[in-house]
Amino acid sequence: MKESKKIGIIICDRYRRCAGGKCFRSLKNREGAFSRYKDSEVELVGYTGCDGCPGGNVEYAVNEMLSNGAQIIHLATGLIVGYPPCPYITYFYDYIQRKYGLEVVYGTHPIPEKYLLVHEKMETWKSAEWQAIIEPTLNDQETRLAYD
């Protein structure tokens, strides 16, 4: 029997109208940051926006996800690839871990190629900290193009 994981996803408010298509597709296909669940069953127990800068909903949404059994919170790829990337993403990561004791993962679906190319030109993700943040969603070019 496969191990079961309960996850929540927090997206960037600038994408609040997002229906979650790329996140849900990558969860189903175990791509991007969801590749870590290749040998696990996954139940999505929450999906919401941060409520805009500075992310006031993070404090409340995680509590609700936790009451629904969340074990892991994913900070969606949109927080990483937006222009500019979320300036609070590392704070969200630390806050959720420290307040709720939950595992936090940077990213959901693979980074689309078009975003990678722009951020490379802008040198947005040049630092070691950003390299660690994008690593779970970087994937190969063929996969990135499939998410363009």
What digits encode the pLDDT tens for the residues 67-111? Answer: 999 999 999 999 999 999 999 999 999 999 999 999 999 999 999
Q: Does the pTM of the predicted model rise above 0.75?
A: yes
Q: Which residue has the higher pLDDT, 90 or 2?
A: 90
Distance CA 59, CA 57 (A): 5
Distance CA 72, CA 97 (A): 10
What CATH number is given to the structural domain containing 22? Answer: 3.40.50
What's the domain range around 53? 3-146
- The pLDDT confidence band at residue 1, using thresholds 50, 70 and 90, is low
- Say how many domains are in the chain: 1
**In the chain, where does DSSP find H-type helix?**
21-29, 57-67, 77-81, 89-100, 113-122, 128-134, 141-146
Residue 17: per-residue pLDDT: 87
